[in-house]
Amino acid sequence: MSLERIGRVLEAMRRRGLVQMLVSDPQSICYLTGVYVEPFERLFALYLRADGRHAFFMNRLFPVPDTDIETVWHTDTDDPVAAIAGRVNAATPLGVDKNWPARFLLPLMQAVPGLRCELASACVDDVRAVKDEAEQALMRENSRINDEVIRRAAAFLREGVTERACAQFILEQYALLGCEGPSFAPIVSFGANAADPHHAPDDTPLRAGECAVLDIGGRKGGYCSDMTRTYFCGRPSEKHAAIHDLVRRANEAARAAVRPGVPLCDVDRAARSVIEQAGYGEYFTHRLGHFIGRTEHEQGDVSSANRAPARAGMVFSIEPGVYLPGEMGVRVEDLVLVTPDGCETLNAVDRHY
């Protein structure tokens, strides 16, 4: 259990005027306590109180290590919501996180008349967004492994290989390199399929002159990696080579803009303006990046709508793209760690095709 992390969450709650909160996101609970449970349809929650009288609400189905937090056990035939109702203070707002199902939240509100609930995910999410030194080390190591996997995957590419075969090869490399698994299902897209940023690999073969987008990530030590490179099978057309160069330059411009205090929307603008000036703005169809850590997409993004400033310790992706429907697509993605005076790019693989 991390008393320091819990203390930072309690301080965030204090600033919002909250003295109690229910955390239900399994990854957030693990981040705070070291206890990981995948509850599926069952109730699993950590109740935090300003006075330190925290409690776990836990199903006996799940064996967990001992912690210094009181555990309130229940079984499949008990009513865990009633147990929570007996603990919460109806006279003060209850913070809840974004992942607590309505099947638990609504009965709790009915069981405690007058209880006012507030969406308080930010109390935990903002703490998780700033990685400590141990987390930063894990993110660096995972990106080092990811670099090696994508090098191997690039060498595996050849005319005639299918997207599905390449994706399976990538999964095998994570296992060989000691990962717990992928961060997400690999995205392998050849030719026109690459115009779909989230294309699922199929039996499409790679043909001469076509692009190959590889968007991959692995998980080790409970943390995730993520990166994208776009390659070509043989020589690309002049147009497609120019688009790849454009996206690479947009990636470089955004990474150069990252430093503490810079609004994240300005980082998005640094990349987007490069692509817009070249006439491809309408084909950059998504935000520039997402936060990452215990999950591949954590709360927080790098987009035109996010005016929050970058802070030292944040880790997020920089992934501009250009997608031409029916023709091809290019994405070049790196993870960056915000440092006190700029940023550290966690990926070292060449960004050229």
Query: What CA–CA distance (Å, rounded) separates 286 from 122?
Result: 23
Q: Are 182 and 174 in contact (CB under 8 A)?
A: yes
Token pair, residue 153, equals: 């995957």
Whole-prediction pTM value? Answer: 0.95
Distance (Å, whole) CA 350 – CA 188: 18
Rounded CA-CA distance 315/338 in Å is 6
pLDDT at 1: 65
Which residue numbers in the chain have pLDDT < 50? none
- At 222, list the tokens: 């409970």
Q: What is the C-alpha to C-alpha distance for residues 17 and 8, in angstroms, rounded to an integer?
A: 14
Looking at residue 221, what is its pLDDT? 97
- Strand ranges across the sheet with 181-182: 181-182, 218-220, 223-224
Q: 70-74 and 55-59: which strand pairing?
A: parallel
Report H helices in 177-319.
Answer: 238-257, 264-277
User: How confident is the model at residue 66, as a pLDDT?
Assistant: 80
